[in-house]
Amino acid sequence: MIRRYWKPIKHALIIGLLWLVDRLLRALPLGVAQGIGERLGRLFFALVPYERKKTLATLAAAYPESTPAWRRRVGQDVFGHLGRSGAEFFRMADMAPDDVDAWVGSVSGWEHAQGALASGRGIVFVTAHLGHWELLAAWTARRAPVGVVARQIYDARLDQVLIDRRKQHDVSVFSRNTAVRPILRWLKDGKVLGTLADQDTGVDSLYVDFFGHPAKTPSGPAVLAQATGAALLTAWCTRREDGRYDLSFGAPIPVPPRGQGGPMELWPVVQEYTRQTEAAVRRTPQLWAFNHARWRSDIRKPSTGWDPRLADACLQRIGEWAAAGRPPLAGS
């Protein structure tokens, strides 16, 4: 009974707090707002044991050779970055299009996307909770129609705030629970779709290797590219020492035409964009959301989006790929 009444009160308190933070961060000079965000993130790491332990456990699994001191330092940096990026996201509400470009220090690989767009193909971008993925979408939306697939937030009011913020920068939002037909039409019309494929979630998935462990990984980007003929590329937006961001876009990942192989025919594609994700995380581990329990699902047990009857096939492919030296997918 208490929980029934406490939940809406808690949500109202959170929304009220976010409203106050939003007004404060938008009123302060950018550098001050960024500094406050970073300090709040580091404070959160220090004061919330559950998040701290989860982050340190994920770091230990990814870097078993690392020391506890290194993991703690990176964990602090992760939350500092999340806080700083959160402050920047609040500030994006007041940014003009030219301001978005001013935050970007360099761009590499955009010609890969331009080639696909020039040919009339849609693009499925695979990125991660790494760096500033919201800025990546806003920058790209200045150059092509962009939509993103996003999970609905637990509170509809907060979810609408996020949708409105993205729309301010011409980024359309497809709910993860939406019908797939509008997304297919979007891609067939030659537009860009941004996806995040670096977490263990309740969507259609395959198990691939990530940091040496079988990891439940969304296969939706590969499925959408295969169904529409869209180009499949990875994209990253990572912070530089001077506070600006470097954007990088990968070459198209080959996607086989639909055959008779079932879900496993896309296993190499999912493994390839996961390999590229791991490489990006290793370059800047302090910029990735290590607070996510990346290996929480059991490959032998059913979970939303996963059929454990594919477990042996995935483990076999992971073993073969590792034995071959973890090579990139041919042509990517």
> In this structure, are 170 and 293 located in the same domain?
yes
pLDDT of residue 330: 64
Q: Which of 42, 77, 94 is at the close of a domain?
A: 94
> In this structure, are 228 and 291 located in the same domain?
yes
Confidence grade of residue 165 (pLDDT, cut at 50, 70, 90) = confident
> In this structure, are 34 and 165 located in the same domain?
no
> In this structure, are 304 and 157 located in the same domain?
yes
> In this structure, are 86 and 120 located in the same domain?
no
pLDDT of residue 207: 98
* 135-147 mean pLDDT: 96
Beta-carbon contacts of 118 under 8 Å, excluding residues fewer than 6 positions away, are none
> In this structure, are 7 and 135 located in the same domain?
no
> In this structure, are 256 and 193 located in the same domain?
yes
H/E segment holding residue 174? strand 171-175
pLDDT of residue 91: 87
> In this structure, are 112 and 87 located in the same domain?
no
| Whole-prediction pTM | 0.92
Q: How many domains does the chain have?
A: 2
| Structure-block tokens of residue 163 | 């949708």
User: Sign of the C-alpha dihedral, residues 45, 46, 48, 51?
Assistant: positive
Beta-carbon contacts of 108 under 8 Å, excluding residues fewer than 6 positions away, are 246, 247, 248, 249
Q: Which of 78, 94, 110 is at the close of a domain?
A: 94
Q: Which domain holds residue 70?
A: 1-94
54-58, 172-176, 215-219: least confidently modelled range: 172-176
* 5-23 mean pLDDT: 69
> In this structure, are 127 and 35 located in the same domain?
no
Q: Which of 46, 76, 94 is at the close of a domain?
A: 94
> In this structure, are 145 and 68 located in the same domain?
no
> In this structure, are 206 and 231 located in the same domain?
yes
In a 10 Å sphere around its CB, with 0-12 CB exposed, 13-18 middle and 19+ buried, how is residue 156 labelled?
exposed
* 187-204 mean pLDDT: 96
Look at 209 and 14; give whichever has higher pLDDT.
209
> In this structure, are 147 and 61 located in the same domain?
no
19 pLDDT exceeds 90?
no
Mean pLDDT of the chain: 91
Confidence grade of residue 274 (pLDDT, cut at 50, 70, 90) = very high
